[in-house]
């Protein structure tokens, strides 16, 4: 009987490993690229090591999640979703960036930006409470992250000081958000019903199982309250007592030190902690509140939704680059597209598979972008590469994916080879003409060639193609003008040649879960089998 049970357990473990073989759908040996050094932390699901990039010697953190510990489909999905969300939010200066994901037989490895300055929680504990000016600076960072999340259709659901790290110790440490293990993609107007989060920071509507992105602002309000006075606004001796306080206890803005805190500070706290989420401030309203302004913590410029920034960048690119981005988008793994897919479906209100000008305008409006219909129409026309007056999924991906995808060599090669039909190693004028005809676009191919063909040999090699894809507006415009001028002088073309269609400017660039964070307060777990070894 015992032998039989032992055999069953062995089979079960083998089945789990096989079943979880492609958690991140990206295989590879992390040690081909990184040298493992000392252990930085350990939790229930894995271990964090300091690692060094073999090529650059840069330091990173690598979280190695034991696949043996992912015992349910929910555990697997939690890891997958968190990686998807962090990839989706990439590029924000106050969010920890993922450098790469790897997977082997026993572990999922997530290499990410190293934050060696500890948790924001520890800074608060050391200080007791912050000055209003310092609290406003921290709140600006936190709420700017929340604003970015919300405009990218992500609700965090576990905002607390422990989930913000500092890049270094001392006054120059930059605050970075981490631990998106409870985050979810959401549709504007849709509600969630899971009770998740950390007790002190949970919004009342979460406890009522009917909430949306407004719950994140409540959590930010709790953090601000703690920053200003040193303790949470709602507390108790047990989780249930805390929840009862959140639902019904009055907000205390009278006890010490609140008499010494400014009226504007009390006003923003009161409005962030409004129990009715409909009366609660939005992220943008928090950032533009008078208290933030009085403490020089207002945004340097008006906040524009990230998706609109990316669309505007896309419209400034030449047609070759726009079509190349479409090729890259088509070749990206599903893991990297999950967030953009959610955003597309959110804008595609009638589920037709395309976005009309009205749907685009309404989708941008819901994200806080009130722009003229004429600009919305122009944006749609420039994104609509096939000319059907709508934006399809591939066109949407090309226009909204983060340009950090251009740093990956495999993406650039795939795009170049798409245009290099004869595999000669060059994109010729004829190949450009063919590519433009395939998408039914009339464009001055000679102007594109002049802008990209830096050495003037009449075609585009791979290096020139990469320079074009990664160039800034000014670089491309200057190159185009110089190339056209040289062409005119050398060939004595007629002056009318200079009056051809102008080149477009290019654009530059439940709480226990398997989190990919660099830290954690969960109790140490048993050593997982085949633990990644540090370098000796």
Catalytic machinery residues: 158
**Element of type H or E holding 287:** helix 283-287
Helix-strand-coil percent breakdown of the chain, rounded to 5?
50, 10, 40
Helix axes 429-438, 409-419, angle to 10 degrees: 90
CB 532 within 8 A of CB 64: yes
Q: Which residues pair with 108 in a beta bridge?
A: 65, 103
C-alpha distances out from residue 209 to 157, 238, 247, 435, Å: 13, 20, 13, 52
- What is the separation, in whole angstroms, between the first and last Cα of the chain? 44
Q: Which of 439, 288, 309, 418 is nearest to 371 (CA)?
A: 309
20/412 Cα distance (integer angstroms): 30
Question: Mapped to the 3 state alphabet, what secondary structure does 311-364 carry?
Answer: HHHHHCCCHHHHHHHHHHHHHCCHHHHHHHHHHHHHHCCCCCCEECHHHHHHHH
- Residue 244 CB contacts under 8 Å (≥ 6 apart), including other chains: 236
- Closest C-alpha to 69, from 519, 521, 515: 515
405 marked ligand binding residue: no
- Name the token pair of 141: 């960072």
Binding site, by residue number, is 63
Binding site for ATP, by residue number, is 63
């Amino acid at each position: 009987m015992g032998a039989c049970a032992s055999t069953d357990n062995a089979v079960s473990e083998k089945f789990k490993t096989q079943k979880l073989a492609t958690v991140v759908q990206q295989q590879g040996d992390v040690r081909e690229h990184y040298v493992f050094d000392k252990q930085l932390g350990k939790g229930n699901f894995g271990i964090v090591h300091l690692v060094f990039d073999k090529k650059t010697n840069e330091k990173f953190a690598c979280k190695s999640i034991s696949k043996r510990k992912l015992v349910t489909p929910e555990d697997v999905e939690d890891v997958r979703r968190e990686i998807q969300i962090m990839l989706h939010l990439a590029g924000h200066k106050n969010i920890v960036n993922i450098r790469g994901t790897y997977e082997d037989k026993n572990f999922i490895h997530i290499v990410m930006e190293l934050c060696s300055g500890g948790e924001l929680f520890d800074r608060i504990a050391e200080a007791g409470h912050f000055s209003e000016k310092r609290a406003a600076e921290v709140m600006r960072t936190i709420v700017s992250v929340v604003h970015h999340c919300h405009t990218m259709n992500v609700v965090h659901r576990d905002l607390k000081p422990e989930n913000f790290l500092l890049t270094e110790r001392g006054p120059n440490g930059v605050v970075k958000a981490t631990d998106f293990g409870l985050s979810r993609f959401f549709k504007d107007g849709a509600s969630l019903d899971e009770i998740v989060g950390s007790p002190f920071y949970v919004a009342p509507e979460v406890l009522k199982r009917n909430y949306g992105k407004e719950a994140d602002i409540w959590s930010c309000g709790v953090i601000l309250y703690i920053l200003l006075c040193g303790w949470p606004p709602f507390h108790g001796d047990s989780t249930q007592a805390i929840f009862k306080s959140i639902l019904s206890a009055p907000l205390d803005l009278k006890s010490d030190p609140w008499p010494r805190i400014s009226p504007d500070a009390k006003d923003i706290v009161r409005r962030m902690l409004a129990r009715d989420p409909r009366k609660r401030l939005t992220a943008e309203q928090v950032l533009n509140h008078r208290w933030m302004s009085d403490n020089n913590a207002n945004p340097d410029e008006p906040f524009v939704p990230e998706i609109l920034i990316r669309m505007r960048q896309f419209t400034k690119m030449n047609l070759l680059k726009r079509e190349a981005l479409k090729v890259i988008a088509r070749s990206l793994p599903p893991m990297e597209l999950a967030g953009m897919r959610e955003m597309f479906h959110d804008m595609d209100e009638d589920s037709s598979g395309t976005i009309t000008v009205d749907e685009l305008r309404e989708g941008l409006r819901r994200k806080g972008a009130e722009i003229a219909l004429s600009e919305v129409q122009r944006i749609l026309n420039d994104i609509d590469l096939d000319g059907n007056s709508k934006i399809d999924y591939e066109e949407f991906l090309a226009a909204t994916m983060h340009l950090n995808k251009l740093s990956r060599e495999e993406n650039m090669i795939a795009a170049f080879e798409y245009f290099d039909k004869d595999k000669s190693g060059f994109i010729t004028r004829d190949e450009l003409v063919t590519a433009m005809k395939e998408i039914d676009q009339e464009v001055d191919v000679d102007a594109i060639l002049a802008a990209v063909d830096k050495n003037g040999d009449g075609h585009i090699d791979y290096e020139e193609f990469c320079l074009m894809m990664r160039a800034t507006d000014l670089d491309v415009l200057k190159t185009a003008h110089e190339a056209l001028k040289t062409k005119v002088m050398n060939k004595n073309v007629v002056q009318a040649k200079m009056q051809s269609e102008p080149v477009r400017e290019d654009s530059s660039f439940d709480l226990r879960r398997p989190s990919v964070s660099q830290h954690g307060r969960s109790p140490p777990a048993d050593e997982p089998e085949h633990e990644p070894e540090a370098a000796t």
